[in-house]
Amino acid sequence: MKTILAAVLLSLASAAHAAPELGKPAPDFTLSDQSGKPVKLSDSKGKFVVLEWFNEGCPFVQKHYGTRNMQGLQKKYGAKGVVWYTIVSSKEGKQGYLTPADASQRIKAMSSKAILLDGKGEVGRLYGAKTTPHLFVVDKKGTLIYMGGIDDNPSADPEDVKTAKNFVAAALDEAMAGKPVSTPSSRPYGCSVKY
Amino acid sequence: MKSLLLAVLLAAPASAAHVKATLFVSGGVGALRLVHDPHWHTYWINPGDSGLATKLTPGVLEFPAPERIVAGPLTSFGYSGEVVLPARIPKDVKTFTATWLECAEVCVPGKAVLTPRAERHELVSEAWERIPQMDTSAALGASRRGDRVILELAGRHPLAEFFPTAPGAFEGARGAVMVAPTRTELTLTKAPGAPDLEALSGVLVRPGLPPAMVSVPIASGGVAARNLLLAFLGGLLLNLMPCVFPVLALKVTGLLERPGRGHALAYTAGVVTSFLALAGGLIVARAAGASLGWGFQLQSPWVVGALAALFVAIGLNLLGLFEVGTRLMSLGARSGGGSFTSGVFAVVVAAPCTAPFMGAALGWALSRPAWEALAVFAALGLGTAAPYAVLASRPALLGLLPRPGEWMVTLKKILSIPMFTTALWLLWVLWRLVGAPAAADPLWKVWSPEAVQEARASGKTVFVDFTAAWCLSCQVNERVVLSRPEVKAALAKGLAFKADWTDKDPVIEAELAKHGRAGVPLYIVYPKGGDAVTLPEILTPGLVLETLGELKK
């Protein structure tokens, strides 16, 4: 009887969480990185993970890479043991699409752990990624603790990076200090993901 | 190699030459005109899933009603072609800077330094006249249902669109539209992680009417309470249905002979537990990927056959021909455990009856989060058990009924009629299930998602009837409304499809789920080039004709 009840509760729980939800386990996935190696999200359990949606042709992405803001975050938190994945969900033939060969060039100028290639857009749709950039932070237990924009100033102007409040850095700092994340979600801004 | 990426990432964006901006001034107010190249667009104050609103510094822009811009799974709100944005501008300023994001497949930030021109005065004044005005009578209210907000409009507007003002609060995609005779419901889906808003503000666009600003508070919880009340009332009504009433009547006559308050609780517990077990089992099966909706109980020939046999047996038993059923049904008269069993039995005979009458409502409940679905089924059970429970716990009420006597035998004989009728109906369902096709009408094409897609691509208005042989409200709608000559003539101008769910069908099931349903009937109209509009479960010829007519405008 107990096992039936447990099965019922378990299936109810899994049925209810198709879309990513704050405070719930981040949906697991496996994608190939730039060298063709499969990368599974749940293999990073025990570490913080950042998922960053990327399209090199998008001016909003260029705003954060041109000012080295994004690479700075990747480097700073990478040094603290955070696993940072840059994900490309652009469809083949659309802006921002990368072949593994392209991606192995691009990764050299970044400090993320890997570029994950999602040309079918499956992981993008799984996470409901809308814009580039769009960021998700997963804690050591695999729980989704932040989703949304990179900061609080939705603009394409590189000058705004200096004055904006960076939500991803704040979420990581707070969570690493054992504190609750004060802004767990925000509106993602940027170009639409080119599914 | 690093320089390669930096070169890419730092490269000056492609020149923002796809949108031309001009600033006009007239009588102290301004207007920013944007002319877009074909396929390019700029954004509204709430850009939707992606994008950025156009800005003017110094100054404040006002925005006319936007349009939806759909790119795959993402939807933005903005403008194409030519748009004129009214601008409040300070006096004595010579130059202004307009910034915008222009996108086609790709996006480029646009910027222009502008000197206001004192010309095209009519363009400025017309732009100001086009700003949506507050209309307090357009919306009846808004309510929260889980992660959705339903905006209720006065009148029937199948093509209505609503654009919420708050950026990031809702998904951009157009939600479900449901029309009823005198009102329309628009569904908005909350964006993941967005906070629950207390009020809904935005621009309402209805063909034939000027765009209107709408602002209404969002009621929480009221709808859930209403659903529970409706389920309770549905349960009460169930007692009057031909399959349940005889069972209830027998139970009550049993009470006359052997009154006792203990039965009320046990019977209620039996009914509620059975409904919860049915719903719970179904939710688990659906979560495990089974293609089942409310109506599953009538989609297996074996179950339908067994139920038909059961109803024949009860009928014969009521006629006094044999005694098996009575023992089962009157077990409750002796012990609490027996009353529980007869509560279970009441649900066994009632469950098939809920599919024809309440399939759509219970199917809708199943598509809600598990706790909500279970609450609805519990309320349904309480309603079903209520009449008997009240009689059993208030012996004084029993005094109002005639004394036990010969009339009870006559009553039983009369009650056998609905039992036999139910059995006959089940046999008809069985006959349809084992392969007898419905009479073919050339108007109705066989439904498939591909056929509908093709028909919509050909630019025709498409009507889809999701139906089942065992669904009584479907049959009534088809016979009383959809087969009328004038309705058929209207349907024949477009294309009509019938999706028959008498038997299990995962494709139909998936389509029902797309519209948030797990039961029939479901009626959908796809206007020419537009999105799905849902009609209510009880049709009238006027509603169908007028909706088809309104959509043609």
Interface contacts A/B by beta carbons within 8 Å: 117
- Contact across the interface for A61 and B9, Cβ inside 8 Å: yes
pLDDT tens, residue by residue, A162-187: 999 999 999 999 999 999 999 999 99
CA B353, CA B350: separation in Å to the nearest integer? 5
- Show the tokens assigned to B103: 């996108």
The four Cα atoms B434, B436, B438, B440 give a dihedral, to 10 degrees, of 140
**What span, in angstroms and rounded, lies between the C-alpha atoms of B273 and B269?**
6
Q: State the best of B40, B41, B107 to mutate against chain A, taking most chain A CBs within 10 Å.
A: B107
> Within 10 Å of residue A158's Cβ, how many Cβ atoms?
16
Nearest by Cα to B80 from B14, B34, B21, B30: B34
ipTM here: 0.82
Structure tokens at B350: 């009632």
Cα separation of B364 and B542, whole Å? Answer: 25
- On chain B, the residues whose CB falls within 8 A of the CB of A148 are 193
d(CA B360, CA B363): 5
Say if CB A22 and CB A147 are below 8 A apart.
yes
pLDDT of the residue at B431: 86
For residue B194, give how far its alpha carbon lies from the nearest alpha carbon of chain A (Å).
Answer: 7
Best mutation target, A192, A194, A195, to test chain B (most B CBs within 10 A): A192
A192/B280 touch (CB, cutoff 8 Å), yes or no? no
Query: What would the two tokens of residue B128 be?
Result: 């100001």
| Residue A10 CA: distances (Å) to CA of A5, A13, B46, B388 | 8, 5, 39, 36
Question: What does DSSP say about strands B462-467 and B212-219: parallel, antiparallel, or unpaired?
Answer: unpaired
Please tell me the predicted confidence (pLDDT) of residue B221: 64
List C-alpha distances in Å: B451 to A64, B458, B467, B544: 46, 11, 17, 22
Interface test with A, best of B106, B273, B514 (most A CBs within 10 A): B106
CATH dotted code for B134-220: 2.60.40
In this complex, which of B8, B50, B167 lies closest to A191 when CB atoms are compared? B50
Q: Using CB atoms and an 8 Å cut-off, which of residues 343-372 of chain B contact chain A?
A: 369-370
For chain A, what percentages of helix, strand and coil (3-state, to nearest 5) are there? 35, 20, 45
Q: Which of B4, B10, B107 sits opposite A58 (nearest CB)?
A: B107
Q: Do A15 and B370 make contact, defined as CB atoms within 8 angstroms?
A: yes
Which residues, numbered 140 to 159 in chain A, qualify as contacts with chain B under a Cβ-Cβ cut-off of 8 Å? 147-148, 154-157
| DSSP category for residue B506 | H
* DSSP 8-state assignment for residue B482: I
Nearest to A169 by CA among A137, A127, A131, A193: A137
Nearest to A66 among B10, B191, B193 (CB): B10
Residue A8 confidence (pLDDT) above 50: no
Distance CA A86, CA A52 (A): 5
* Distance from the A107 Cα atom to the nearest Cα atom in chain B, whole angstroms: 9
As a whole number, the mean pLDDT across chain A is 90
The shortest CB-CB distance from B49 to any of A15, A19, A192 is to A192
User: Do the chains contact at B9 and A195, CB–CB below 8 Å?
Assistant: no
Contact B105, B47 (CB under 8 A): no
Specify whether the CB–CB gap between A122 and A26 falls below 8 A: no
Is B376 within 8 Å of chain A by CB? no
Mutate to test the interface with A, among B5, B6, B111 (most CBs of A within 10 A): B5
Number of H helices, E strands in chain B: 16, 23
CB contact residues (below 8 A), chain A span 80-99, against chain B: 94-95
Q: Is the pLDDT score of A82 beyond 60?
A: yes
Subunit contact A187:B283, Cβ cutoff 8 A: no
> What are the tens digits of pLDDT across the range A115-167?
999 999 999 999 999 999 999 999 999 999 999 999 999 988 899 999 999 99
The shortest C-alpha distance from B171 to chain A (Å) reads 10
Contact indicator for B419, B311 with CB cutoff of 8 Å: yes
Q: Which residues of B touch A19 (CB under 8 A)?
A: 192
CATH 2.60.40.1250 placement within chain B? 14-131
Of residues B50, B103, B193, nearest to A147 (C-beta):
B193
Which residue ranges does chain B devote to CATH 3.40.30.10?
444-552
Q: What topology is assigned to B14-131 in CATH?
A: Immunoglobulin-like (2.60.40)
> Which residues in chain B are contacts of A7 at CB distance < 8 A?
284
> A19 vs A44, B31, B78, B99, B417, CA distance in Å?
21, 42, 27, 34, 51
Residue ranges of chain B with per-residue pLDDT less than 50:
1-4, 8, 10-14, 325, 331-335
Please report the pLDDT score of residue B331 as a whole number.
43
CATH number for the domain formed by residue range(s) B444-552? 3.40.30.10
**Model-level pTM?**
0.74
Q: Which domains are present in chain A?
A: 20-192 (3.40.30.10)
Q: What angle do the packed helices B336-366 and B262-287 form, to 10 degrees?
A: 40
Query: Where does the pLDDT of residue A191 fall: very low under 50, low under 70, confident under 90, or very high at 90 and above?
Result: very high
A55: left (phi over 0), alpha (psi -120 to 50) or beta: beta
